[in-house]
Amino acid sequence: MVQATPFLLVLFLALGAHGHTVKKCILAGHWKNDIGSNMTISEVKENGDFTGIYNTSVSATTKIVPSPLLGSQHLPYLQNQPTFGFTIHWNFSDSISVFTGQCFVDNDGKEVLKTMWLMRSRVGKLEDDWKATRIGYNEFVRQETHE
């Protein structure tokens, strides 16, 4: 029993650490990015699909309204620090944005979503196609809810 105790302790810690990682990087919840945009992702389904609402802090237009997002993620109990993607159908402009990224757990146990995005804005004629797509990076951190 004396010899078994350290083994059980190590096993417990290993399982505990694994469980910790598994709980992280399920994307459901509230997130804020480096330019102050917020998104709320609803429950992630068993196959990784999710829906949510995106509230951007900036816009190429004047008006901003919370807009729906539709996405999918690989699930962290299958692969740690999973990849994901989502599309935002802006309710107040003719644009569509697509984000793709990966959820990381940093050395402090904090989840960070590293993403790249493309935003396609509608242009009126073929000759303007060259200027219709923007590209960029955003980093999101989880907003803890204090209820």
Q: Angle CA(69)–CA(93)–CA(135) in degrees, nearest 5? A: 70
Q: Cα torsion for 44, 48, 50, 54, to the nearest 10°?
A: 100
CB of 61 to ligand BTN, least distance (A): 5
Q: Encoding tokens for residue 10?
A: 């190590």
Query: How big is the CA angle at 7 (ends 2 and 9), to the nearest 5 degrees?
Result: 95
Stretch that binds ligand BTN, among 2-10, 14-22, 32-40, 70-78 (CB under 6 A): 32-40
**Closer residue to ligand BTN (CB): 76 or 111:** 111
Identity of the residue, 21 or 114, whose beta carbon is nearer to ligand BTN in the bound complex: 114
Beta carbon nearer to ligand BTN, 4 or 58:
58
Q: Is-contact 89 111, C-beta < 8 A?
A: no
CB of 130 to ligand BTN, least distance (A): 18
Beta bridge partner(s), residue 87:
70, 98
Q: How far is the CB of 85 from ligand BTN (least distance, A)?
A: 14
Site membership for ligand BTN, residue 119 (CB under 6 A): yes
Q: How far apart are CA 50 and CA 60, in angstroms?
A: 26
135 φ/ψ angles, rounded to the nearest 5 degrees:
-140, 150
Indicate the DSSP class of residue 99. E
Q: Is 58 in the site for ligand BTN (CB under 6 A)?
A: yes
Adjacent-strand bridge partners of 116: 100, 137
Assess 133 for contact with ligand BTN (CB under 6 A).
no
Q: Does 138 bind ligand BTN (CB under 6 A)?
A: yes
Residue (33 or 73) nearer to ligand BTN, CB: 33
Q: Which residues bind ligand BTN (CB under 6 A)?
A: 33, 35, 37, 56, 58-61, 90, 93, 95, 97, 117, 119, 136, 138
